[in-house]
Structure 1
Amino acid sequence: MPTVAPLDLEGHVVATHFLGDIPLFATAAGNIHRLDGGEKVIEAHQGLLTCIRDPHSATLLTGGEDGKVLRVGHDGTVTELAHVPRKWISVVAGGPQNAIAYGVGKSSFVRLGDGTIKEFKEERTVEAIAFAPKGLRIAAARYNGVTLHWVATAGDPIDLDWKGAHTGVTFSADGKFLVTTMQENALHGWKLDAAKGGTDARHMRMTGYPAKVKSISWSVKCKWLASSGAPAAIVWPFAGKDGPMGKAPLELGTRSDIMVTNVAFHPLEEVLAIGFADGMILGVRLADQKEALLRRPGKGAITSMSWSNTGKLLAFASEAGDCGIVDITA
């Protein structure tokens, strides 16, 4: 079995990410614990709501109950990017050329690399934001769908409508697909090259989950999209031009009555880490669905997992604060 280096933190741990070879753990209380030659603590927020890894730089982006958006470096430096007094910032995204986006109420804001801030008003509260992989474009998830905005040009926004509350949003790395998590037990997707046609053919319905999907992860070449929300990881095929339409998903790491709470694809191989409500973590290879136990059950549900760039280390966090690093080469 791989070796596990445990780390016990106090309270709910929202997220864990690697910056280079340095793992960081962000707690709901607002502290970020950095394991760099020993444990070092960054006091980032008065209440942390979200923490993501900026896909375009070796930094974290965080939002908090104090109305701040921060950038945290691998060396522990903290830079304030935005401050909206008396508002909670629970939605952040990282884009190209040092751009970031964040949601406040019914508005999406994009802060460009030169400090310029652009506001895009929505009809409903912004629940999630994602940058498109090509071009400076954002998708803002809201009630009854998603709105696409061009940031650097004056193009009209495009509304992708589907009834219900959309709580998360992600683009495939090739920009062909957009997928949302929903308040109901489902994912919904759009095939973007068909979005201008105005037909229902562009919709992708991914339903049948027994619980709400709170975690999704793309495989290294975007052939698969893994998701939580069932007593197995539900992995949808996206290799074809129509994505998962008309195809059944894989069900990996099935356990009879214990829910999957977090999923994380390996950065180099089609291997999926699956975290469960009891704290257990499985690694599953998609080619033959072979399973490996990466961590035995712990104190709390797995809330976040992150692979190092080499894929040799897996950091994990839990709602009870029992966290750690798994060395899969050991």
Structure 2
Amino acid sequence: MKPYLEKISSNVDLTYEEAADAMQLIMSGESTAAQFGSFVTGLRMKGETVDEIAGMASVMRKMALSVNYDNDLLDTCGTGGDGLGTFNISTAAAFVSAGIGIKIAKHGNRAMSSHTGSADVLESLGININLTPDQVSECIKISNFGFMFAQGFHPAMKHAGPPRREIGIRTVFNILGPLTNPAGAQKQLIGVSDPKVGNIIAQSLKRLGSEAALIVHGNDGLDEITLSDFSQIWILKNGEISTEKFYPESVGVNIQSLSNLQVNNSEESAQMIESVLDGIHGPSRDIVLLNSAAAIFISGHSDNFQAAFDKAKHSIDSGLANQTLNLVREYSQKLND
């Protein structure tokens, strides 16, 4: 690891192969906690490159437990680290998308630098998150939604978990999570809190062979499509990357403050998700609809954002999204019996 630390501290980029080797050292436990901390902090200060991210992601993918599911799969997730304390919007969007038949393979973890991670809020929703690969596959078949708890599906990451938690800031691992889906989801909606990361993630997904991805960043710093401002969007389709700005008003949603979307813990986040899926109107519903529309659009189930937005509304108003949540809860808890 020392040669790589020397390069990074000298502001020199690693090659794809060097980054992959460094990741191998981390995941095998050969690097120390101090070396890990220096490595990820140095990468962030220097700025992570596409080769570095793709090289590290390739090793994580190889060492992950795999979910075998022979169908189109979509993941909805974010890098976290925006510090805005909103409820788990991408998790809610996953249930809305699954409600209209999109197969969701959601990959997530506990909170590292925020109030609540996707694993935390799913537990608060009464869902058993500790499923095996076969159980995740079966859950997707039954409900269109399956959750892969990162700790369980990336056992070699046990060496990185404790020092990463102690560091407590965004590192390359916030970026790697969305790139290392154990089910190999080829379509993704990814939120980023740092706009400089958006294009890098799009380029990394292209390098890794992703079929389609929508990367979003709210101009207010939110790692989702936001309500309070426009959002920057990077679209990866057919091997090409394009960028555009998205305004909520384009689908009839008014600009609103994020203050009513903030929570203090996973229980509050779960309550907000359930209120949205129960059909309660308000800013929480609006932001879930916007992000669900993004997921539906990039999945290929709608040709344009307005049509995707209308499908998202139907999923909630018909009760299909809520039905999905209940199916996932019921199936996952049966496995505890």
Fold shared, TM-score > 0.5 on shorter chain: no
Q: TM-score, normalised by structure 2?
A: 0.30
Structure with larger RCO (C-alpha < 8 A, sep 6+): 2
Tell me which protein shows more strand as a share of its residues. 1
Tell me which protein shows more helix as a share of its residues. 2
Q: TM-score, normalised by structure 1?
A: 0.30
